[in-house]
Structure 1
């Protein structure tokens, strides 16, 4: 029960109103430490309730009587607009019985409207690094009184090239008293460097190992001969699988637009989401998917994090993601909160090694699936013997002279030469069996 935590009664009232009963493992592990003011580095499964794990302690810290706001007290940084918007909604839901106000700063929104909001000084500021830096450079943002800093999905922010922006914003929070970093993956060396720089004697909480993630999601691969064959498999899956809502992931915006166009031409209720879409279209795509106005969202990795949609029970990787972490986030859109999900990856010969490396990273073996209606010829690389030679490759024969010949190959025809003594060591054909050698004059017989 949430009542086990020393949370303010107004927050417990909000939790009860939202019908939250049992805290998730990440909430049970992180909330008590966060309430103590500890710096945290938390790794937990996507969809496990990480947002509430840092929002509730922050609200407990800020709660109090209504008063004039003179400074921003909490900064929450996130990699994408969609994740920032979802986090804002969570903050507003949990703070509904308090006087705490929050604000949102992301790209795609009116810059002057955001500046006006900043002049009202929200208690909690949520946003993406790029637009935060723009407001900072314009002199509209003051972070010197920030007490709590949260970096959510920090590994993704670094992957997107926000490392310098994040470091600058962290440096602006000169009086911060607590820093928390949450993510669904462990990240790489760049993230470890950031943890060392921004966290002070942190408590490390790894609620799930990577291999334990998405336990309720079936993970399958279907092999394909080429991209046109992939589209045929995709059409079959969307027409024959049982699902409420689905996301089709691609690696490029051009591929997303192409697939979206073909689905719409086949009268599918679909929408497309990627970084080139303006904020209005991006919001419309997500809202229509959540409301059930569309069943299929075609998207790049901009939708791989923070997107929480009820009834989303199938993810199709038209393109295999470029890393194990991105794969975890993509399939984490389904199978959330203990519900069943299905993740299917379409694999051409160029995707096989990447797929295998992700299997090794996750310490899992994906289910191999064959769809007889759209079966192709490619089924994966040829098996390899213990000797390291591929099965089915013919060995080369070696004759008595040490010349290598392919099995079954005919010897090159020798040209007949008249008036010439026979010699055992004279060859009229080069070793490669292609070009004739230059004739040699016969040697004079040796004197008796």
Structure 2
């Protein structure tokens, strides 16, 4: 129970207003440590309830601390995308509903002057994306010397987006006595440990998953495909025949997201798309249409999908296979949230088989291969597959034949080519270069003198 964690009654009231009564695993593990005053390094899966795990102790600290009225911003929450920042803003407002604390937001896509005006009001909690916040610091935003808590939400994704230097630069503008809580879906990311070493001091490490464990409540399947045309027809049939409320489809590029969205719309499937090339207003319109049920299928790229606040996604489709295990884990984490059953399907072409195999090895699992009736693929995986699932090498006889062919070719290439003109000259003595031929107008005596330079005439 949250009441047993010593939370302020105003926070308990805010939780009850959202019908939240029991803490999740990550909340129960993180909150006592966070409230003890330590730095944190937390690994938790997407959809595990990690937002409240840092939001509740953060607000609790601000409610109980003696803070001067002249103090500036006291807590900074950094997020990789504006979508996630807006989701955090929504959840923070719900938790502050019965308090006097204020929250502001700074992210790309919104009016800069309006944000600057909000910052001058010194909200106790600020939610920001790294790029836009650093822009404010580089112009005229004063250093946040009063800051007590820095939260890095989805730190691994911010690193993937190239925000390492921005985060370090921002940290230099913050109070030195602050606490730093770093949250990541995986701690195996090469840069997470480095960033934690730069920004935290003896952090408490809390790992609630290995980062390679798949969610047991998510059914994970694979549909083999011959190519893009076959993929398009198969996904159309899948979406038309499968019973679901909402589906999230992932592509690896913005161009592919737009193309697939237009194709599905032409097949009379209610589809929308979100990606980095869209304006914030356009993104907001698509998300609002989806929340109202006017869009049933959302096509998105990895970055754009981060922070999407949509409940009830029953089906995640990897139209393009994720490039690595971490991205795959992030994708399928959009379904099966809060213990609900989820379903993830990946379309695999011959070119994507190795990606699939790599993700399976990373997650230490094996995906079930299924087919759509009437849309079966001619491609059934590598021709020769060992029991372990790895492609088998050529037979020994084939190897021996290949070695013999290579040896013959090498012997043939090493032979000296014999020309007819060389055969004609066999046995003939070659004249020295500096000796003229007889018959070229030279007398024998002159030749003798040339060959005997120590003769008297030569002297």
Same-fold call, TM cutoff 0.5: yes
Q: Tell me the residue number matched to 2:431.
A: none
1:138-287 aligned within 5 A = 138-287=139-288
Is 1:395 aligned to residue 398 of structure 2? yes
Aligned-residue offset at 1:209? 2.3
**Alpha-carbon separation, structure 2, partners of 1:332 and 1:303:** 15
**Alpha-carbon separation, structure 2, partners of 1:181 and 1:78:** 11
**Alpha-carbon separation, structure 2, partners of 1:56 and 1:76:** 13
Q: Residue 66 and residue 344 in structure 1: after superposition, are their counterparts in 2 closer, same or farther (change >3 A)?
A: same
Unmatched runs of 5 consecutive residues or more in structure 1: 406-429, 442-448
* Structure 1 contact 103–125 (Cα < 8 Å) conserved: yes
Is 1:108 aligned to residue 98 of structure 2? no
Q: Tell me the residue number matched to 1:415.
A: none
**Alpha-carbon separation, structure 1, partners of 2:207 and 2:174:** 26
Larger-gyration structure (1/2): 2
* Structure 2 contact 156–185 (Cα < 8 Å) conserved: no
Q: Residue 403 and residue 381 in structure 1: after superposition, are their counterparts in 2 closer, same or farther (change >3 A)?
A: closer
Aligned-residue offset at 1:332? 0.7
Q: Residue 296 and residue 150 in structure 1: after superposition, are their counterparts in 2 closer, same or farther (change >3 A)?
A: same
Structure 1 stretches of 4+ with a deviation exceeding 3 A read 64-70, 384-398, 402-405
Point out the structure with the larger helix share.
Answer: 2
Q: Residue 384 and residue 14 in structure 1: after superposition, are their counterparts in 2 closer, same or farther (change >3 A)?
A: closer
**Alpha-carbon separation, structure 2, partners of 1:53 and 1:293:** 33
Q: Tell me the residue number matched to 1:18.
A: 18
TM-score by length of 1: 0.86
**Alpha-carbon separation, structure 1, partners of 2:142 and 2:263:** 44
Aligned-residue offset at 1:389? 5.7
Q: Residue 360 and residue 92 in structure 1: after superposition, are their counterparts in 2 closer, same or farther (change >3 A)?
A: same
Q: Residue 104 and residue 396 in structure 1: after superposition, are their counterparts in 2 closer, same or farther (change >3 A)?
A: closer
Q: Tell me the residue number matched to 1:8.
A: 8
**Alpha-carbon separation, structure 2, partners of 1:72 and 1:403:** 76
* Structure 1 contact 382–391 (Cα < 8 Å) conserved: no
**Alpha-carbon separation, structure 2, partners of 1:170 and 1:185:** 22
Per-residue CA distance 1:280-306 (angstroms, 9 max, x = gap) = 111122222122121010110124422
Q: Residue 14 and residue 384 in structure 1: after superposition, are their counterparts in 2 closer, same or farther (change >3 A)?
A: closer
Aligned-residue offset at 1:344? 0.6
Q: Tell me the residue number matched to 2:73.
A: 72
Unmatched runs of 5 consecutive residues or more in structure 2: 424-459
**Alpha-carbon separation, structure 1, partners of 2:49 and 2:295:** 26
Q: Tell me the residue number matched to 1:54.
A: 54
Q: Tell me the residue number matched to 1:420.
A: none
Per-residue CA distance 1:257-294 (angstroms, 9 max, x = gap) = 10111112222211110001011111122222122121
**Alpha-carbon separation, structure 1, partners of 2:197 and 2:68:** 36
**Alpha-carbon separation, structure 2, partners of 1:210 and 1:395:** 41
Q: Residue 127 and residue 301 in structure 1: after superposition, are their counterparts in 2 closer, same or farther (change >3 A)?
A: same
Taking only aligned residues, the RMSD between alpha carbons, in angstroms, comes to 2.6
**Alpha-carbon separation, structure 1, partners of 2:157 and 2:137:** 22
- Size of the alignment, in residue pairs? 411
Aligned-residue offset at 1:392? 8.2
* Structure 2 contact 26–44 (Cα < 8 Å) conserved: yes
Aligned-residue offset at 1:66? 10
Per-residue CA distance 1:300-334 (angstroms, 9 max, x = gap) = 01244222322210011111111211111111111
TM-score by length of 2: 0.84
* Structure 2 contact 274–299 (Cα < 8 Å) conserved: yes
**Alpha-carbon separation, structure 2, partners of 1:361 and 1:385:** 19
Q: Tell me the residue number matched to 1:28.
A: 28
SS in 2 for 1:373: coil
Per-residue CA distance 1:231-259 (angstroms, 9 max, x = gap) = 11111111111110001110000000101
**Alpha-carbon separation, structure 2, partners of 1:69 and 1:360:** 55
* Structure 1 contact 72–142 (Cα < 8 Å) conserved: no
**Alpha-carbon separation, structure 1, partners of 2:97 and 2:300:** 33
SS in 2 for 1:22: coil
SS in 2 for 1:181: strand
**Alpha-carbon separation, structure 2, partners of 1:77 and 1:39:** 16
Q: Tell me the residue number matched to 2:363.
A: 362
Per-residue CA distance 1:192-215 (angstroms, 9 max, x = gap) = 111111111111111122343422
Q: Tell me the residue number matched to 1:119.
A: 120
